Amino acid sequence: MYKFNSKSKIGFIGTGSVGGSLALSLHKKNYPIVALASKKYTSAEKLAKTIPNCKAYKSLNKVIEKSEVIFITTTDDCIENIVSSLVWQSNKAVIHCSGAASTDILKHASQQKASTGTFHPLQAFASIEKGVESIPGTTFAIEGDPNIISYLKDIAFKLEGSYILLKAEDKVLYHVSGVMLGGLLTSFAATTAQIWDSIGLSREEGLKSLSHMMEQVSKNLNTLGIPAAIAGPYPRGDIGTIKKHLKELYTKYPKILPLYCELALCALPLAIEKGSINKETHDEIYKIILKYKKLSS
């Protein structure tokens, strides 16, 4: 079986935020990034100029020809079609970076004796610049052939991250968790910040203040864990405050009310787990939330 190591030449198909961030980060750790291709050739060309001895190609076959390890960092829906359109060999490895898909979509390459694997960074990539900054400390989800798993473990270590090994059947739920605390959390923050429009301040001002609090929430979660990090009116059992929240949202932001109710219902069992409210208080709050949840439906 062909062995891959830190000297194996790497190519990328896909040079967006994820591919660009990984390519630059690996280059900084002395991995040889030699070939790039992307849906937009100018994107690959621009990235190649920042990496010595790296070249952009319009042909995907050229990337395979010049590389030993090929990372596919396109949109998830494109991966299988790209892999199936190319010719692979036993001295090549193909690795995709989808969080939800397993190595099953690389079947065409494995049938041609290429090594296959997945390497998903559990991180929110909004740009290449910010992505490179965020990679240290990131968890990477790994799946694949034994020799590829060893290779990808080393990469995770070199990038100053950690890794988890996933089974194919666990990929989707793993990715759901990442999306909920990644892209959907961003959407939630944007939705929440809109409330500031009603108090005479802008969404941007709201985001600036709320994101600082979110940073502290993250620190609390990492240092205190669940349920100790849970805070706010629910673990305090502040029924009066909770009623005010629900009434005001019902009057002024009815579209946000269902989301608030669902999150509040998730918070209640954690308040019990923390030991900060008793069952009587829990049940009273629960009934109040259900009342407004029905009003919002």
Please report the pLDDT score of residue 207 as a whole number: 94
pLDDT value, residue 295: 93
Q: In what order do the strands lie in the sheet with 55-56?
A: 55-56, 33-37, 10-13, 69-72, 93-96, 115-121, 139-144, 162-165
Judge whether residue 136 has pLDDT over 70.
Answer: yes
The pair of structure tokens assigned to 108 is 């065409």
**32 pLDDT band (50/70/90 cuts)?**
very high
Q: Over range 30-39, report the average pLDDT.
A: 98
What is the model's pLDDT at position 2?
81
Q: Which of 88, 89, 124, 83 is nearest to 102 (CA)?
A: 83
Report the C-alpha gap between 33 and 83 in whole angstroms: 20
pLDDT at 102: 96
pLDDT value at position 147? 86
Q: Is the pLDDT of residue 158 over 90?
A: yes
The average pLDDT across 97-116 equals: 96
Average pLDDT over residues 211-239: 94
Tell me what the mean pLDDT of segment 262-273 comes to: 95
Q: Between the CA of residue 24 and those of 13, 15, 33, 133, 294, what are the distances in Å?
A: 14, 10, 8, 10, 51
* Structure tokens belonging to residue 162: 């950690």
Question: How far is the first Cα of the chain from the last one, in angstroms, to the nearest whole number?
Answer: 58
User: CB atoms < 10 A from the CB of 286, how many?
Assistant: 15
Residue with tokens 């198909």: 13
Evaluated on CA atoms 77, 137, 12, 168, the torsion sign reads: negative
Distance CA 37, CA 95 (A): 15
Residue 59 has pLDDT above 90, yes or no: yes
Q: Domains of the chain by range and CATH?
A: 10-169 (3.40.50.720), 183-296 (no CATH)
Q: Tell me which of 146 and 159 has the higher pLDDT.
A: 159
pLDDT in tens, 206-219: 999 999 999 999 99
DSSP line for the chain: -----TTS-EEEE--SHHHHHHHHHHHHTT--EEEEE-SSHHHHHHHHTTSTT-EE-S-HHHHHHH-SEEEE-S-HHHHHHHHHTS---TT-EEEE--SS--GGGGHHHHHTT-EEEEEEE-S--S-HHHHHHH-TT-EEEEEE-HHHHHHHHHHHHHTT-EEEE--GGGHHHHHHHHHHTTHHHHHHHHHHHGGGGGGT--HHHHHHHHHHHHHHHHHHHHHH-TTTT--SHHHHT-HHHHHHHHHHHHHH-TTTHHHHHHHHHHHHHHHHHHTSS-HHHHHHHHHHHHHHHHHH-
- Do the beta carbons of residue 22 and residue 28 sit within 8 Å? no
Q: How confident is the model at residue 1 (pLDDT cuts 50, 70, 90)?
A: low
Asked whether 196 and 242 are in contact (CB, 8 A), the reply is no
Average pLDDT, the chain: 95
pLDDT greater than 90 at residue 297: no
Between these two residues, 82 and 147, which has the higher pLDDT value? 82
pLDDT of the residue at 72: 98
179 pLDDT exceeds 80?
yes
